[in-house]
Amino acid sequence: MSHQAYLIDTNILIGLEDNHTVEAAYARFLALAATHKVDVYVHEAAKDDIARDADAKRRQISLSKIEKYQLLKKQRGLKRSDLEADFGPLKKPNDVVDATLLHTLEKGAADFLVTQDKGLHQRAQKRSPDLARRVLFVSDATELLVQTYEPKQVPIRHVGKAEAHEIDSKDAFFNSLREGYPEFDDWWRDKCVKQHRSCWVVYDNDQLAGLIVRKDEDAMDTDAITKAEKILKICTFKVAPENRGVKLGELLLKQVLWYAQTNKYDLAYLTTYDEQVALMQLLEYYGFRNAGQNANGEYIYERDFSTAALTSQDDKGDFELAREHYPRFVLGHDTPGFGIPIQEAYHDTLYPDLYRPVQPDLFGGGSRAETITRPGNTIRKVYLCRAQSKLGPAGSLLFFYKSTSKNPPSQAITALGVLESVTLAGSTKDLMQLTGGRSVYSEAQLEKWKATPERPVKVINYLLVSYIDPAVSLEELRTMGVIKGHPQQSIYRLSPALTAGLVERANLDFEV
């Protein structure tokens, strides 16, 4: 295997080394890195961060603990003006540190940067999506280490429905909620159980791993800033700390977004605390906005929903619009569409929700029991291939065709996606970096691609918009004119008329 290297931000260093109890994800990250001899670096610029600590004793202790880690030194002659040219305005000293870390990452001195700083994630996103995929929250970095080095034969069950009274509120899953909200038990009994509130749950190996409690509201009875007619309140959105890197947060959010769109809500909202940076980053990525604060000091995050057609804008690309208004997307007269043939094994990995074995597995209703399916049923996906065909710009529509298969559906278009980017990987290390936190493959599986500069692998990043139910069969595709003769074996471009026809056939819950 190629050797991974992780650069940790100052906030991760402090989380690992201060005098408080170390969070489970932080400790697990460091333990996994040590076990598998993965390099963990601290940048010399971290000393600048710590040097600004007004507490002299704490500053001295923190600086001494840096010596435990390998140090990446600053690039000689690197100017602040150079950093600003690449990474935007640097108004504060810590902005300079952030830009220095991103510069080091972009140069290739480390494979991934681990940070809980939302601003640093946003700065990386503005620089480039490829760089942003290499900036990870600690939970996702931990999961990437697990994914790469410790494949486990454990199924992740799909999101299920439950009423509050069906859930054991004494489960250790709720301990952190009690710590932050002493009235939790009264609230759960009086508001959730007695009012029969509906929940979405995710179980991992029979342990509660993710939970959403929801409630319907209207303009006359809501804590939302925006007063809409039909409101979906997310009362609780929680993922167990040990499961946060399994992409369960995005899986649960997908449930919220699909449910709100399908059921024609006008608004969805939830509240977060300042320290929930990973959740806020996820919400903002999918179009939620910070609308203000409530009396308890929580941020109120809101997002509008509509069934109206989404149209192109001069100041935003079609992919950005699709991301912020997910699952809606832009379909113009010139929106490119592509058919992407995909073999059954890859299809089942990317779309475990559609896995329908002829012989039902032991985990009825669950996803496939391979580690590689764990992040597969989230929104952001990556597909690898060596197709020679070129894809269009970001915002193009992708129709995934499942080729001849043992399990149904076979020879049918099953899923619709919106293209984010296409990049060529010339090595296993490139594949690892470009797939980042979206990868559903271990490094051993990536190595089997034998990527080289002469035979690169195409890395296709996209958003899953919708499954097509029922799938568009081979017979129907021939009738429509999508397939003539034998099904295509490589990526192919669709005419505007065929693209529009397939979108209409997808039976979406919004206009396009």
Distance CA 217, CA 223 (A): 9
Residues 416 and 503: beta-carbon distance below 8 Å: yes
Ranked by mean pLDDT, the top range of 35-49, 140-154, 449-463 is 449-463
62: in domain = yes
Q: Which residues pair with 303 in a beta bridge?
A: 268
Question: Which of 170-179, 302-311, 361-370, 439-448 is least confident?
Answer: 361-370
Q: Which of 374, 342, 367, 351 is nearest to 441 (CA)?
A: 374
Same domain, 437 and 390: yes
Distance CA 15, CA 33 (A): 16
314: in domain = no
Residue 19's pLDDT band, with cuts at 50, 70 and 90, is: low
177: which residues sit within 8 A by CB, 6+ positions away? 184, 236, 238
Q: What is the pLDDT of residue 368?
A: 34
Residues 96 and 114: beta-carbon distance below 8 Å: no
Residue 22's pLDDT band, with cuts at 50, 70 and 90, is: low
312: in domain = no
236: in domain = yes
Quote the tokens at residue 414.
Answer: 């099953």
Q: What is the pLDDT of residue 306?
A: 97
Q: What is the pLDDT of residue 20?
A: 55
Distance CA 117, CA 94 (A): 11
Distance CA 120, CA 117 (A): 5
Question: Which of 257-266, 304-313, 440-449 is least confident?
Answer: 440-449
Same domain, 131 and 44: yes
Helix, strand or coil for residue 392?
A: coil
Residue 309's pLDDT band, with cuts at 50, 70 and 90, is: very high
395: which residues sit within 8 A by CB, 6+ positions away? 317, 318, 319, 321, 322, 329, 330, 335, 418, 419
- Check pLDDT > 80 for residue 424: yes
**Structural domain count of the chain:** 3
154: in domain = no
Residues 45 and 74: beta-carbon distance below 8 Å: yes
- Check pLDDT > 90 for residue 378: no
Length of the chain as a residue count:
512
Same domain, 196 and 143: no
Each residue of 344-355: pLDDT tens digit?
Answer: 988 988 888 888
Quote the tokens at residue 444.
Answer: 């051993």
Q: Which of 261, 286, 304 is the last residue of a domain?
A: 304
Each residue of 158-212: pLDDT tens digit?
Answer: 688 999 999 999 999 999 899 888 899 999 999 999 999 999 998 877 789 899 9
Quote the tokens at residue 206.
Answer: 């029979």
CATH number where 59 lies: 3.40.50.1010
Q: What is the pLDDT of residue 204?
A: 78
User: What average pLDDT is seen over the chain?
Assistant: 89
The dihedrals phi and psi of 311, each to the nearest 5 degrees, come to -115, 155
Same domain, 458 and 428: yes
Residue type, 345: A
Q: What is the pLDDT of residue 64?
A: 80
Q: Which residues pair with 237 in a beta bridge?
A: 212
Q: Which of 434, 464, 466 is nearest to 449 (CA)?
A: 434
Same domain, 275 and 361: no
H/E run at residue 504: helix 496-505
Q: pLDDT > 70: what percent of the chain? A: 91
The DSSP secondary structure of 261-300, one letter per residue, reads: HHTT-SEEEEEE-TT-HHHHHHHHHTT-EEEEE-TTS-EE
CATH number where 250 lies: 3.40.630.30
What count of Cα atoms within 13 Å lies in the side-chain half-sphere of residue 306? 12
Q: What is the pLDDT of residue 54?
A: 80
Distance CA 330, CA 321 (A): 8
Same domain, 370 and 492: yes
- Check pLDDT > 70 for residue 84: yes
Quote the tokens at residue 316.
Answer: 């935003």
Same domain, 354 and 452: yes
Name the residue with higher pLDDT: 371 or 412: 412
Q: Which of 339, 343, 321 is nearest to 400 (CA)?
A: 339
Same domain, 51 and 78: yes
Each residue of 201-258: pLDDT tens digit?
Answer: 988 777 898 999 999 999 999 999 999 999 999 999 999 877 665 578 898 999 999 9
Residue type, 145: L
Alpha-helix runs per DSSP H in 200-354? 248-262, 277-285, 318-324, 344-350
Distance CA 465, CA 286 (A): 12
Q: Which of 115, 149, 183 is the last residue of a domain?
A: 149
Q: Is the sign of the CA dihedral 240, 17, 298, 180 positive or negative? A: positive
Residue 275's pLDDT band, with cuts at 50, 70 and 90, is: confident
Arithmetic mean of pLDDT, 313-336: 96
- Check pLDDT > 50 for residue 120: yes
Same domain, 45 and 73: yes
Distance CA 40, CA 112 (A): 10
Q: Using omega within 30 degrees of 0 as the cis cutoff, is the peptide bond preceding 470 cis?
A: yes
Q: What value, to the nearest 5°, has the Cα angle with vertex 392 and ends 386 and 398? A: 75
Distance CA 345, CA 240 (A): 30
Residue 366's pLDDT band, with cuts at 50, 70 and 90, is: very low
Q: What is the pLDDT of residue 246?
A: 58
Residue 43 sits in which domain range?
5-149
Same domain, 139 and 203: no
316: in domain = no
Residues 380 and 438: beta-carbon distance below 8 Å: yes
The dihedrals phi and psi of 191, each to the nearest 5 degrees, come to -95, -40
Same domain, 453 and 420: yes
CATH number where 426 lies: 2.30.130.30
Q: Which residues pair with 402 in a beta bridge?
A: 342, 412
Name the residue with higher pLDDT: 457 or 203: 457
- Check pLDDT > 90 for residue 103: yes
| Per-residue buried b or exposed e for 328-360, using 16+ beta carbons within 10 Å of the residue's own CB | bbbbeeebbbbbbbbeeebbbbbbbbbbeeeee
- How far is C-alpha 140 from the geometric centre of its chain's CA atoms? 9
Q: What is the pLDDT of residue 441?
A: 75
Same domain, 183 and 132: no
Residues 292 and 300: beta-carbon distance below 8 Å: yes
The predicted model scores a pTM of 0.84
Name the residue with higher pLDDT: 191 or 377: 191
Question: Which of 2-6, 94-98, 106-110 is least confident?
Answer: 2-6
